[in-house]
Amino acid sequence: MSSVISSTAKVDSAGRIVLPAEGRKVLGLHPGSEVIVHFDDGEFRVTTREEAIRRIQARVRKYIPAGVSLVDELIAERRAEAKRELED
C-alpha cells in the first residue's frame, strides 16, 4: 500500500473510533472485518490480517534459499519421524 491518507476521527464516550470511509475502502474493510491494532511510541496503527501476513511472509522469505520449499521439508521430516517411530 503506497497511498497515504490522513484524516481525523473522534473517540466517542465508549472509547470507539469510527474509521473514515476512505480509509476503510483503501484497506478493503467491511463490517465484521478483523484488524490488528498496533500501539507503538505514541502511534495507533490499524493493519489488516492479510497485510500483516504478507509482511511476515516477506520477512521470512529473505532467509529461505531460492527453490527451497519449507512445506516439502516439513513433510519429509514428518515422514522420517513416523518411519523411525514404526521401527522402534
pLDDT value of position 5? 78
Lowest mean pLDDT: which of 3-12, 22-31, 59-68? 3-12
How far apart, in whole angstroms, are the C-alpha atoms of residue 50 and residue 54?
6
pLDDT value of position 4? 76
Of 34, 12, 30, nearest to 21 (Cα)?
Answer: 30
Using one digit for the tens of pLDDT, what is the confidence trace for 30-82?
999 999 999 999 999 999 999 999 999 999 989 999 999 999 999 999 999 99
**Residue that is written with C-alpha cell 476521527 in the block:** 9
pTM surpassing 0.85? no
How far apart, in whole angstroms, are the C-alpha atoms of residue 76 and residue 17?
48
